[in-house]
Amino acid sequence: MRGLSLTTPSRVDMGLRVPGGLVSEIDPTSLLQPAATQVRDPVSGRSVWLAGMVKNPRPKGSDLIYDLHFSDAHDLEARQRIPRAIEGHLRQLGFEGKVYAMPAGAPPRMGSRGGREPGPGKDPVKGMSGPGMQPHGGPIQKQPLEGVKHVIAVASGKGGVGKSTVSTNLAVALARRGHTAGLLDADIYGPSVPTMMGAERRPMVDPATRKILPVEAHGVRCLSMGHLVDPEEAMIWRGPMVMSAVRQFLQDAIWAGTDYLVIDLPPGTGDAQLTLIQAVELSGAIIVTTPQPVALADAVRGITMFRKLEVPLLGVVENMAWYELPDGTRDHVFGRDGGKEVAVRYETELLSQIPLQSALREAGDLGVPAALSDGALGQAFAELARRVVEQLPVDAAVSR
């Protein structure tokens, strides 16, 4: 695997508070220079200060903000290590408070080394790179995913409706049917698949192809941004970097031999969705919503987006459809049949109605998806998988 091509912005929980006054009372440059001079840039071999990476220091009350400029040769390890090293030297100088290191400069170059290269099949992956990718998010031709029969996007117009829950359980339910299933977490800003699948270890590198080997859990191949960055790391990325990361997840990992690749998209209709549709031929899309009107309005936007971009719509999943009371009656907490009404209005299928149950949340928190059970929740996701396979049979698919 060559260099790490993912940029990680940093918020360093350490700032500059000097005895007798706030940061704004002194020159911010004088605070950063001695610390940054002690940190080596692995690309130029000079200190990050002399290399011109630390720019535009500016006070904000008792805190300090500065821009940290990376070149396209800086890998993920360097992008995480450098601001932390600056933090350490600032602490040694006796400063306190908060420092915000804002990432700037060029997106990473595909195929750049920029740092240590993982050993074949031994070292965990620190990031991804590969040929043929365009880091600036320009127009690209759709590239086939070798050996993948069906690619399914799971989307929602609104966050918090259970899209990742549906994605993980659909992938597991497909695997339980005997299919080879993959799960790609394209929710760059809020990756939750590693936790929900109980697969938080880092992926490895295939020694023959130098590509990422997805982590396997519950019979599903998984890959997520959560596998590559610290759990508390904030992903403060602009559109081009998001688009670059999604493309790399698709092209720089080994998905060959997969019957169904389920892609968990971030909420909304932005860069990640457009990049995915540009980069790979989708077999179909699933919209996840809850019954209340505010969620349904956003779900409609998702339906409109996929139809405008000529992506087949497999149907709607209504999550949190009802809460079952001890006496067996149903309390429609968020409204009734909203997902069903949207499916009828837009002439698509209502694939499933998933009840609101604490067991579903607990299963995700424990990393043991509810689809593994034989209870009511497991049966609901098994039915969802059956409906998907009915529309996208493996036998009729042409391996890409």
Looking at residue 370, the DSSP 8-state letter turns out to be G
Q: Which domain holds residue 173?
A: 148-391
Give the bridge partners for 326, in sequence order. none
Which residue among 77, 105, 133 closes a domain? 105
Which residue among 53, 85, 105 closes a domain? 105
Tokens of 227: 């596998």
> Is residue 399 one of the residues assigned to a domain?
no
Tell me the longest C-alpha to C-alpha distance in the chain. 74
192/266 same-domain check: yes
Measured between alpha carbons, how far is 137 from 118 in angstroms, rounded to an integer?
Answer: 27
> Is residue 48 one of the residues assigned to a domain?
yes
Q: How many domains does the chain have?
A: 2
* Per-residue model confidence as pLDDT tens for the chain (400 residues): 433 333 333 333 333 444 444 444 555 567 788 989 999 999 999 999 999 999 888 877 677 778 888 887 887 778 878 988 888 888 787 777 677 777 776 555 544 433 333 434 444 444 443 333 333 344 445 666 789 999 999 988 767 788 899 999 999 999 999 999 999 988 776 678 888 898 878 888 788 888 888 999 999 999 987 666 655 555 555 555 666 667 777 888 899 999 999 999 887 766 667 777 777 889 999 999 888 887 788 788 888 888 888 899 999 999 998 888 888 888 988 888 888 888 888 889 999 999 888 888 888 888 899 999 988 899 999 999 999 999 999 886 554 5
258/351 same-domain check: yes
In 95-171 the beta strands, taken as DSSP E runs, fall at 99-105, 148-155
Measured between alpha carbons, how far is 171 from 224 in angstroms, rounded to an integer?
Answer: 14
Please give the model's pTM, rounded to 2 decimal places: 0.64
- CA-CA-CA-CA dihedral for 354, 355, 359, 362, to nearest 10: 60
Measured between alpha carbons, how far is 88 from 59 in angstroms, rounded to an integer?
Answer: 19
